[in-house]
């Protein structure tokens, strides 16, 4: 049985994730009290008709959520090979989402959303530490979130492969929250200072040619490829199933995009899945000095 536990911060996209998983053929149960997880698995075993399941547990379960860790232990005792998907987002993004939807945060007893977000983050620390996959949805559209889930859970065989997510970003917009490794490429010559390249991105051939014409860029890629090729088996041996490699330049429009895409090509291997996300590529004025 493929069993996915979806959890994370309120407002980070758990409902959208559950809808996407349902469309992928999962039997989905939202807001399942932790106390009922074991009974739910027993029922599934008795029916023997469902082999792909996703359940969402979070602070909406009230006191039940305090037993989340115990519920996960129950899954292990039933021999269920579950995977935990933890969704999170930056504070300012969560605040904006609550203001836009005008929904009440489940922990905001007096309407103080920011304090509720911080309290919830503290309460979820233990479960986050046990997560097999962590997604920062701050800059993901619903379509991008669906694509990420498809890459993670579309086939059972994908569970045996290490997922390497390479994210380009701009330091001016902050670090990716879920990054395991961060590399700064701001020392490379900046295409932003070339007038005919300023409005283009690192996905355009002209920008890629400009960045890679410099020997230091090619040498960087060689060193990064060797280093990450060495590190990935070490992470896999420790039980990691997902590694996020963040490549940052000033604005995330030019240099980091080129390096991320070429690094992904260098890391291609049947034993792993490579994904590339350009967080800030299309931001206005992304290539700043």
111 and 183, same domain (yes or no): no
Would the pLDDT of 285 be above 80? no
**Out of 56-60, 226-230, 233-237, which region has the weakest mean confidence (pLDDT)?**
56-60
Would the pLDDT of 281 be above 80? yes
> Does residue 33 lie within any of the structural domains?
yes
Residue 284 — pLDDT band, cuts 50, 70, 90? low
Q: Which residues in 47-63 are b (16+ Cβ under 10 Å) and which e?
A: eeeeebbbbbbbbebee
95 and 172, same domain (yes or no): no
Q: What percent of the chain has pLDDT over 90?
A: 43
172 and 257, same domain (yes or no): yes
69 and 177, same domain (yes or no): no
141-189 pLDDT tens trace:
887 888 888 888 876 554 456 789 999 999 999 999 889 999 999 999 9
> Does residue 28 lie within any of the structural domains?
yes
Q: Which range marks the domain in which residue 188 is found?
A: 163-278
95 and 114, same domain (yes or no): yes
List of residues 6+ apart from 199 with CB closer than 8 A: none
Structural domains in the chain (count): 2
- Evaluate if pTM is beyond 0.75: no
pLDDT recorded at residue 158: 47
Would the pLDDT of 63 be above 80? no
153 and 222, same domain (yes or no): no
Domain termination residue (choose one: 132, 160, 188): 160
**Out of 51-55, 106-110, 219-223, 268-272, which region has the weakest mean confidence (pLDDT)?**
106-110
Domain termination residue (choose one: 130, 160, 190): 160
247-257 pLDDT tens trace:
999 999 999 99
């Amino acid at each position: 049985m493929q069993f996915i536990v979806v959890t994370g911060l309120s407002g980070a996209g758990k409902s959208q994730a559950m809808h996407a998983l349902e469309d992928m053929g999962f039997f989905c149960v939202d807001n399942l009290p932790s106390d009922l997880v074991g009974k739910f698995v027993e029922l599934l075993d008795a029916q023997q008709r469902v082999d792909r399941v996703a359940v969402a547990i979070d602070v909406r379960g009230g006191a039940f959520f305090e037993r989340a860790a115990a519920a996960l232990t129950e899954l292990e005792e039933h021999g269920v090979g579950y995977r935990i998907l933890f969704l999170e987002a930056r504070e300012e993004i969560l605040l904006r989402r609550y203001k836009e939807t005008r929904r009440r945060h489940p922990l905001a007893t007096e309407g103080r959303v920011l304090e509720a977000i911080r309290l919830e983050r503290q309460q979820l620390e233990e479960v986050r530490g046990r997560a097999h996959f962590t997604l920062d949805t701050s800059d993901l559209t619903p379509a991008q979130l669906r694509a990420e889930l498809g890459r993670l859970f579309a086939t059972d065989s994908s569970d045996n492969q290490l997922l390497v997510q390479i994210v380009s970003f701009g330091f001016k917009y902050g670090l990716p929250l879920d990054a395991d490794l961060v590399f700064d490429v701001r020392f490379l010559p900046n295409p932003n200072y070339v007038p005919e390249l300023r409005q283009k991105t690192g996905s355009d051939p002209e920008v890629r040619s400009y960045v890679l014409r410099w020997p230091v860029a090619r040498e960087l890629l060689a060193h990064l490829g060797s280093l990450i090729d060495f590190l990935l088996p070490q992470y896999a041996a420790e039980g990691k199933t997902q590694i996020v490699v963040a490549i940052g330049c000033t604005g995330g429009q030019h240099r980091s995009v080129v390096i991320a895409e070429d690094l992904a090509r260098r890391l291609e291997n049947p034993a792993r899945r490579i994904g590339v996300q350009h967080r800030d590529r299309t931001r206005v004025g992304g290539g700043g000095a």
